[in-house]
Amino acid sequence: MLFRSLFTLFALAFASPAFAELPEPLAAALSANPNGRAPDGIVLRMSLGPESIRVAVGFEGGETPTYRLLEPNSEAQLSETQAEMWAGFDSGEETAPDADGAEPGPDGETQIAFGDYDPETIRESIGGSAVFDREENGQLVYAFTPLSLPSQGDSAPQGLLDHMRGEVFVDAGTNQLSVLRYSLAESFKPNLAARIETFDLEQRFVFEPALDGPRVAGVSMSMSGSALFQPFSQTMRFDIEEVRFGEAADAALETAAESP
């Protein structure tokens, strides 16, 4: 199922080539070291094409996350597409690795570490090919040839990495990493019965005061092409709308549940 493959590609796990020197201020941006404090709860929106759901995720003492559907406010109101998205959180049918690349828990439930930021894996993906490309709306943009892609698992189309290009954006005013983007430079055929026409993957970052450093704000991915000579096109997006640390998390999630 295409949705299952897209959900798996959302997981942010990278391969591990050797580090290399990066130009400034990109190197300075990737030297940021958040304190690693874990959130107590988040609210996120998942979108598949034009449809979306809003979900509260609770983390209780490092145990398995709990999920609460906020929008729509009942499962009875879910469309077929929304129900498929919600199943990935609620039923445990989707068993994608988490944002650190960890395997699903022994109970088969989905394990997702939302908002994790790991500059080492970004450096490993960029390698030593990053060069300054342009300045765009106050952002310094560096181009690179990716050495790895998020979630290079069995679901990733064969040969995709060979046709990719990467861009990393650094806020010129704050020296903070803001966007990591991968896109397909040219269409290619992973096999005789398929062609990938477009593929775009973007990870967005914001500064989080509670971490004294960056965190992931969202991830989006789109892909189009043909499989078995039938065209397909799909877009998926995750936006982290709220992140709560400490005792404020439970109250915030309760309020969100009452007023989706």
User: What average pLDDT does range 28-36 have in this prediction?
Assistant: 83
pLDDT given for residue 151 in this prediction: 52
Q: Which pTM does this prediction carry? A: 0.75
Please give the full DSSP string across 22-90, using - where no structure is assigned: --TTHHHHTT-----PPPSEEEEEEEETTEEEEEEEE--TTS--EEEEEESSSGGG--HHHHHHHHHHH
Please check the confidence at residue 245 and state whether its pLDDT lies above 80. yes
pLDDT tens figures, 148-195: 876 544 445 557 788 899 999 999 988 899 999 999 998 888 888 889
Most confident of 21-30, 41-50, 90-99: 41-50
pLDDT given for residue 137 in this prediction: 92
pLDDT tens figures, 183-215: 999 888 888 888 999 999 999 999 988 888 889
pLDDT given for residue 1 in this prediction: 45
Q: Please state the domain extents for the chain.
A: 2-258
